[in-house]
Structure 1
Amino acid sequence: MSTQRLQQLKGHFLSEHKVTSMAGPVSPLSTHVLNIALGVPGSNVSLSLYRQDTPSEVWSLITTGITNADGRCPGLITKEMFTSGVYKLRFETQQYWESIGEASFYPYVEIVFTISDPGQKYHIPLLMSRFSYSTYRGS
């Protein structure tokens, strides 16, 4: 393994620790974008967080952000604003791929999920390549 890759991994682990210890209040919802084609974090990915209003089922924008050098977007939502309901994270993947000189099949990715216990921590990663993506509920 190259020295550069080892430094990148070291920075990844250290930056994760910094987010929880130095960023002030920790968001109950986090995300992490990974470019699995190149094996690097998806940095500078624009994203939006929405909550679905009931009973109208209209999406209300909560916040927008851009992933940092580690592919994370700290501080998505406060504990006070995080309530039970249906949420959506929208990632502007086409802009990301174009910014690194690549074309993408998916212009954006929307991940819709249900929060039933807002007292828990929810981690929603996005693993992506130009022609595929995957997600899961992390811890």
Structure 2
Amino acid sequence: MSLSTHVLDTARGCPAADVHVRLARRAAHGYVALAEARTDKDGRIREWTPLGREWTGTLEAATYRLIFDTGGYLGDDAFFPEVTVVFTIADADQHHHVPLLLSPFGYSTYRGS
């Protein structure tokens, strides 16, 4: 199973480049950090950098979270300096895409394709 994300700056009408994103999996006592990446010039993350031995390059059926460093991208304009999106993967054979639509005062997300 693969995971991708796409961050779009809805206030500027363009992709949000260079947004730092962390991926973690829910465990018995909190979350375990798996990987991180930065959005490319198109606002996309297609590949992740492992953060330790927990990352195998694929995801299993479980609950995960993506933590977007929106303050690093928006700077002083960020009302929400960090956005955390929690989602559950039921079918690990499917590709999962989690877009984030971002502005200084709001955000929206959904399951993409």
Q: State the TM-score, normalized to the length of structure 1.
A: 0.73
Give 1:47's match in structure 2, choosing from 17, 21, 24: 21
Contact kept? 1:44, 1:96, Cα under 8 Å: yes
User: Larger helix proportion, structure 1 or 2?
Assistant: 1
| Residue segments in structure 1 that go unaligned for 5+ positions in a row | 1-26
Q: Which amino acid aligns with 1:50?
A: A
Residues 97-126 of structure 1: CA deviation (Å, up to 9, x unaligned): 12xxx5110010000000000101111000
SS, match of residue 96 in structure 1: helix
Question: Who is 1:64 aligned against?
Answer: 36
- Offset of residue 81 of structure 1: 2.9
Residues 13-46 of structure 1: CA deviation (Å, up to 9, x unaligned): xxxxxxxxxxxxxx61100000000100000000
Question: Who is 1:75 aligned against?
Answer: 47
Please tell me whether Structure 1 or Structure 2 has the larger radius of gyration of its CA atoms: 1
- Aligned-residue RMSD, C-alpha: 1.8
- Offset of residue 57 of structure 1: 3.9
Q: Identity of paired residues, percent?
A: 40
Give 2:101's match in structure 1, choosing from 108, 127, 131: 127
Aligned residues: 108
1:96 equivalent in alignment to 2:73: yes
Higher relative contact order (CA 8 A, sep 6+): 2
Contact kept? 1:44, 1:71, Cα under 8 Å: yes
| Residue segments in structure 2 that go unaligned for 5+ positions in a row | none
Q: State the TM-score, normalized to the length of structure 2.
A: 0.89
Q: Which amino acid aligns with 2:73?
A: Y
Q: Which amino acid aligns with 2:43?
A: G
